[in-house]
């Protein structure tokens, strides 16, 4: 090794050492313990790390059975939000990595009149999931399904963005049916939900790309005859927002017919200010400010038919229709100033609009059965959607020492999606656990066209078709049966693309199809 190479190696080593040192300084483990007013541990409380000053979700965890928690902070300009049903929310800065003991105080406003009729929710670990009971608890009064999920331990749900701590965006199921349109959660009342299961480590029965699963079980309707209810909401933010939902149901014996009509009109605004600083040979600073108004209308309808032959066999079909007649986005304005060494280099101003129109159809059919000790779960889905997205932007920019220049950019984006999916699962008790196997098939077809009237941007037309099939075999053990194996002992899958055995303890076999 020559001297030049030795010098390069030393520089790399020093660089890596410095990088490690910087990373150690920029990250710290924030620890603490939660207790109630009786000095008892508070388990399953949500502990969320938020950035400042925008309060954006960074990471989250839940407290253990002993009330202790730990999570990584990446900056001192962050804050910890601690929340649990029945207690007042607490905020703690991350200046010190050891928050210490935090006593949660009962929320009298939340419990005052409700606690007489309902209890605090109970969360327990069952099989592969953390199960939170909703029926008979104050969670029944949460509001919509989205509102409810935001109160479930280990879950964050804000503005339709659902996140499972440590796992990211989950796959959601309602009564075993996969949710393909998250607006269903806004149409589902929390009072109709029985329990919620959160799975952080899905087994082989789910696709390898799925890192978390939320399973929602609704209450079984009681009584016979015809019934209906109406849900109405109005509120004022930047403008008036109105929601109206009508539900009806007819039950007779094992026959169950239900439907829903839903309409929503909303208005909101988004104001953003951003400064970006780049240090090169010169110092570049880019200051941006934008204001966007959103005015949207949504309508949807649902019709569901179910028939229960007996306690062991039931089947049904459900059709959903959703239409967005218009979703107007008005950009007025978006201003940007670019400075080079504190001297104005360029100024940009953009105004314009975009209007999204969308139509969606969803069809699901299912069969749930039990033959002896065997459980059978079959689902088939069809999904069709068309989206039109015209847009017009007026761009104005003034370069340094130059004159004002303008251009109008008019585009139209058309998208069509089709999806067909089937899934069949067999399960059977085995060795104190549950053996499950089955298969899944999915077909997707997406057409997309993008056109620019002025010819400033290139037109684009694309078509993507995809077929995928998978098979799985797995056995999940109860923690009460074998303490050392609380997840799968054996897992086998043929999946495209394939990711081998997320939860395998002993061994796994991989294959491609």
> Does the residue 380 lie in any domain?
yes
Query: Do both 119 and 199 map to the same domain?
Result: yes
Query: Do both 396 and 411 map to the same domain?
Result: yes
- The full 3-state SS of 290-309, as one line of letters, equals EEEEEEEEEEEEEEEEEEEE
**Confidence band, pLDDT 50/70/90 cuts, at residue 48:** confident
d(CA 72, CA 131): 26
d(CA 94, CA 48): 12
Closest residue by Cα to residue 161 from 184, 182, 140: 182
> Does the residue 488 lie in any domain?
no
Closest residue by Cα to residue 274 from 14, 436, 53: 53
**Domain coverage including residue 285:** 225-429+438-467
Query: Do both 332 and 361 map to the same domain?
Result: yes
Q: Pick from 166-170, 289-293, 320-324, 498-502 the range whose average pLDDT is largest.
A: 320-324
DSSP tag of 486: -
CATH number at residue 155: 2.170.130.10
**Confidence band, pLDDT 50/70/90 cuts, at residue 2:** low
Give the N- to C-terminal CA distance of the chain in Å, as an integer: 48
d(CA 81, CA 52): 12
Could you say which of 201, 218, 235 is where a domain stops? 218
Closest residue by Cα to residue 437 from 215, 175, 205, 202: 205
- The full 3-state SS of 33-99, as one line of letters, equals EEECCCCCECCCCEEEEEECCCCCEEEEEECCCCCEEEEEECCCCEEEEEECCCECCEEEECCCCEE
Bridge partner residues of 100 (DSSP): 32
> Does the residue 475 lie in any domain?
no
Torsion on CA atoms 275, 277, 278, 281, rounded to nearest 10: 130
Query: Do both 267 and 385 map to the same domain?
Result: yes
Q: Pick from 52-66, 144-158, 399-413 the range whose average pLDDT is largest.
A: 399-413
Report the percentage of the chain scoring pLDDT > 90.
25
Where is average pLDDT lowest: 168-182, 260-274, 414-428, 477-491?
477-491
d(CA 450, CA 472): 39
DSSP tag of 3: H
Tens of pLDDT, residues 236-254? 878 889 989 898 889 888 8
Query: Do both 312 and 359 map to the same domain?
Result: yes
Tens of pLDDT, residues 485-511? 333 333 333 333 333 333 333 333 333
Q: What is the pLDDT of residue 362?
A: 94
- For range 476-483, the mean pLDDT: 40
More confident residue, 186 or 413: 413
Q: What is the pLDDT of residue 111?
A: 47
Q: What is the pLDDT of residue 204?
A: 67
Task: Please give the model's pTM, rounded to 2 decimal places.
Answer: 0.65
Query: Do both 210 and 101 map to the same domain?
Result: no
Q: What is the pLDDT of residue 209?
A: 78
Q: What is the pLDDT of residue 115?
A: 43
**Confidence band, pLDDT 50/70/90 cuts, at residue 262:** very high
33 to 44, 67, 100, 121, 138: CA distances (angstroms): 12, 5, 6, 21, 25
> Does the residue 192 lie in any domain?
yes
Tens of pLDDT, residues 278-310? 988 889 999 999 889 999 999 999 999 988 888
Provide the pairing of β-strand 460-477 with 177-178: unpaired
Q: Pick from 44-58, 91-105, 354-368 the range whose average pLDDT is largest.
A: 354-368
- The full 3-state SS of 420-469, as one line of letters, equals EEEEEEEEEEECCEEEEEEEEEEEEEEEEEEEECCCCCCCEEEEEEEEEE
Burial letters 143-181, b for 16+ CB under 10 A, else e: bbbbbbbbbbbbbbbeeeebbbbebeebbbbbeebebbe
Tens of pLDDT, residues 184-228? 787 788 888 889 999 888 876 777 778 888 988 888 766 778 888
CATH number at residue 44: 2.60.40.10
d(CA 452, CA 53): 38
Q: What is the pLDDT of residue 120?
A: 67
Q: Look over the chain and give the mean of its residue pLDDT values, rounded to a whole number.
A: 79
Predicted confidence (pLDDT) at residue 8 exceeds the cutoff of 60? no
Give how far the C-alpha of residue 117 lies from the chain's centroid of Cα atoms, to the nearest Å. Answer: 31
> Does the residue 66 lie in any domain?
yes
d(CA 299, CA 312): 36
CB 327 within 8 A of CB 296: yes
> Does the residue 17 lie in any domain?
no
> Does the residue 493 lie in any domain?
no
CB 209 within 8 A of CB 237: no
Query: Do both 276 and 318 map to the same domain?
Result: yes
Q: What is the pLDDT of residue 479?
A: 40
d(CA 86, CA 92): 19
Query: Do both 192 and 341 map to the same domain?
Result: no
CB 71 within 8 A of CB 63: no
d(CA 285, CA 288): 10
Query: Do both 264 and 249 map to the same domain?
Result: yes
d(CA 251, CA 257): 6
Tens of pLDDT, residues 23-34? 343 457 888 889
d(CA 334, CA 351): 6
> Does the residue 500 lie in any domain?
no
Query: Do both 244 and 196 map to the same domain?
Result: no
- For range 58-63, the mean pLDDT: 83
Predicted confidence (pLDDT) at residue 166 exceeds the cutoff of 60? yes
More confident residue, 123 or 493: 123
Q: What is the pLDDT of residue 116?
A: 43
Could you say which of 177, 203, 218 is where a domain stops? 218
d(CA 397, CA 349): 6
> What is the total count of domains within the chain?
3
Could you say which of 169, 184, 218 is where a domain stops? 218
Provide the pairing of β-strand 460-477 with 28-35: unpaired
Handedness of CA 503, 504, 510, 513 (dihedral sign): negative
d(CA 420, CA 380): 8
Q: What is the pLDDT of residue 27?
A: 54
Query: Do both 192 and 255 map to the same domain?
Result: no
Query: Do both 69 and 189 map to the same domain?
Result: no
């Amino acid at each position: 090794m020559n001297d030049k190479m030795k010098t390069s190696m030393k520089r790399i080593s020093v660089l890596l050492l410095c990088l490690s040192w910087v990373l150690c300084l920029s990250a710290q483990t924030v620890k603490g313990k939660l207790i109630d007013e009786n000095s008892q541990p508070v388990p399953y409380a949500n502990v969320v790390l938020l950035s400042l000053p925008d309060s954006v979700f960074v990471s989250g965890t839940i407290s253990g059975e002993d009330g202790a928690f730990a999570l990584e902070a990446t900056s001192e300009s962050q804050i910890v939000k601690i929340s649990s049903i029945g207690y007042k929310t607490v905020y703690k800065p991350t200046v010190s990595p050891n928050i210490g003991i935090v006593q949660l105080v009962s929320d009298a406003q939340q419990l005052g009149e409700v606690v007489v009729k309902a209890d605090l929710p109970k969360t327990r670990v069952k099989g592969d999931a953390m199960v939170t009971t909703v029926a008979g608890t104050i969670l029944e009064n949460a509001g919509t399904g989205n509102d409810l999920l935001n109160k479930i331990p280990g879950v964050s749900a804000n503005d339709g963005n659902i996140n499972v701590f440590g796992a990211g965006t989950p796959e959601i199921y309602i009564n075993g049916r996969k949710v393909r349109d998250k607006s269903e959660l806004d149409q589902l009342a929390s009072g109709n939900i029985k329990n919620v299961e959160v799975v952080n480590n899905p087994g082989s029965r789910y696709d390898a790309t799925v890192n978390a699963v939320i399973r929602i079980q609704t209450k079984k309707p009681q009584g016979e005859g015809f019934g209906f209810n109406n849900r109405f909401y109005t509120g004022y933010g930047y403008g008036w927002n109105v929601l109206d939902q009508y539900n009806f149901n007819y039950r007779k014996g094992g026959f169950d017919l239900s439907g829903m009509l839903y309409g929503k009109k909303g208005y909101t605004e988004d104001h953003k200010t951003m400064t970006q600083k780049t240090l090169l040979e010169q110092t570049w600073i880019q200051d941006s400010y934008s204001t966007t108004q959103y005015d949207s209308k949504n309508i949807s309808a649902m019709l569901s038919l179910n028939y229960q032959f007996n306690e062991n066999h039931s089947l049904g079909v459900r059709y959903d229709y959703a239409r967005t007649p218009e979703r107007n986005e008005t950009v007025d304005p978006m201003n940007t100033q670019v400075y080079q060494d504190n001297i104005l280099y360029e100024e940009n101003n953009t105004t314009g609009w975009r209007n999204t129109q969308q139509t969606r159809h969803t069809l699901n059919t299912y069969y749930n059965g039990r033959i002896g000790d065997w459980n059978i779960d079959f689902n088939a889905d069809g999904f069709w959607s068309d989206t039109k997205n015209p847009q017009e932007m007026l761009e104005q920019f003034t370069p340094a020492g130059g004159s004002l220049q303008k251009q109008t950019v008019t585009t139209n984006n058309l998208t069509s999606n089709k999806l067909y999916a089937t899934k069949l699962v067999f399960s059977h008790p085995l060795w104190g656990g549950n053996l499950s196997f089955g298969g899944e098939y999915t077909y997707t077809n997406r057409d997309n066209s993008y056109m620019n009237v002025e010819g400033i941007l290139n037109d684009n037309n694309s078509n993507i078709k995809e077929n995928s099939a998978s098979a799985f075999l797995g056995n999940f053990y109860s923690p009460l049966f074998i303490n050392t194996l609380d997840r799968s002992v054996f897992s086998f899958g043929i999946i495209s693309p394939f990711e081998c055995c997320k939860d395998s303890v002993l061994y796994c076999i991989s294959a491609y199809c």
